[in-house]
């Protein structure tokens, strides 16, 4: 009879031991994973934008989704791993408008926190139109593209844009935040 009770105690002990070790292990794994994810989410991302010039006008589209919905912006987006600024700019313009551009050059750098919790290092570029008519390639993101006089832009403007205009007109090229 004592033997049976001892066996049961030993069995319970090992059962509980395995249970605790298992959950401790899983819990720590989960914690490490979720902390890792949060850390990468909390780092700034690199964005590019490009003011495209054609016959003295610039190309703008009304944003539909994500940050800045309802605001007018030029083409641009997230830089991909191992891209050059030029590759990224040409890709974004082609993906969003179907157009080709040339003479891509640096305009200004902006530390963008207006759409917090999103945080971007925004590289502002300027380029000349090369070929193609602007098309709505991503209808879920942009309502439509149009060419505008730089002194008569539609409103509201995407938060990155005023610094492009100032940079273009004054030569200032650096905005921290
Ligand atoms: P995608 O990549 O969706 O075109 O991004 P975006 O147009 O929202 O631009 C992100 C970078 C900006 C905010 C500097
Ligand atoms: Mg975009």
Return the H-helix or E-strand segment holding 19. helix 2-41
Nearest atom within ligand 1 for CA of residue 141: 3
Q: Tell me what the mean pLDDT of segment 86-97 comes to.
A: 98
pLDDT at residue 54 tops 50: yes
31: alpha, beta or left? (left if phi > 0; alpha if psi -120 to 50): alpha
Question: What does the alpha-carbon distance between residue 87 and residue 79 come to, in Å, rounded to a whole number?
Answer: 9
Is 47 touching ligand 1 by the criterion CB < 6 Å?
yes
Q: Between residues 163 and 21, which one has the greater pLDDT? A: 163
Nearest atom within ligand 1 for CA of residue 49: 14
The reported pLDDT for the residue numbered 65 is 85
Residue 99 in contact with residue 129, Cβ under 8 Å? yes
**Smallest CA separation from ligand 1 atom 1, residue:** 77
Q: Tell me the CA–centroid distance for residue 77 and ligand 2, in Å.
A: 4
Q: Between residues 35 and 16, which one has the greater pLDDT? A: 16
**Smallest CA separation from ligand 1 atom 8, residue:** 77
Q: What is the DSSP letter of 30?
A: H
Q: Tell me the CA–centroid distance for residue 46 and ligand 1, in Å.
A: 9
**Smallest CA separation from ligand 1 atom 13, residue:** 47
Question: What does the alpha-carbon distance between residue 26 and residue 90 come to, in Å, rounded to a whole number?
Answer: 45
**Interval 99-122: pLDDT, tens:** 999 999 999 999 999 999 999 999
pLDDT at residue 97 tops 50: yes
pLDDT at residue 37 tops 80: no
**Interval 7-34: pLDDT, tens:** 666 676 666 656 655 555 444 544 444 4
The reported pLDDT for the residue numbered 34 is 46
Residue 53 in contact with residue 150, Cβ under 8 Å? no
% pLDDT > 70, the chain: 77
Is 84 touching ligand 1 by the criterion CB < 6 Å?
no
pLDDT at residue 174 tops 50: yes
**Residue 160's closest CA among 101, 129, 119?**
119
Is 122 touching ligand 1 by the criterion CB < 6 Å?
yes
- Mutate-to-test residue for ligand 1 from 63, 68, 77, 177, highest number of ligand atoms within 8 A of CB: 77
Q: What is the DSSP letter of 76?
A: E
């Amino acid at each position: 009879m004592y033997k049976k009770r001892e066996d049961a105690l030993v069995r319970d002990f090992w059962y509980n031991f395995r249970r605790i070790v298992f959950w401790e292990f899983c819990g720590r794994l989960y914690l490490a994973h979720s902390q890792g994810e949060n850390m990468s989410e909390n780092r700034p991302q690199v964005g590019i934008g490009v003011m495209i010039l054609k016959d003295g006008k610039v190309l703008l589209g009304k944003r539909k989704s994500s940050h800045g919905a309802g605001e007018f912006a030029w083409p641009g987006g997230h830089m991909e791993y191992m891209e050059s600024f030029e590759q990224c700019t040409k890709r974004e313009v082609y993906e969003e408008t179907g157009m080709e551009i040339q003479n891509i050059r640096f305009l200004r750098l902006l530390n963008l926190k207006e759409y917090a919790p999103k945080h971007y290092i925004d590289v502002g570029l300027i380029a000349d139109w090369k070929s193609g008519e602007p098309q709505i390639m991503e209808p879920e993101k942009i309502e439509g593209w149009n060419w505008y006089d730089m002194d008569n832009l539609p409103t509201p403007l995407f938060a990155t844009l005023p610094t492009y205009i100032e940079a273009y007109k004054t030569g200032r090229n650096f905005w921290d935040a």
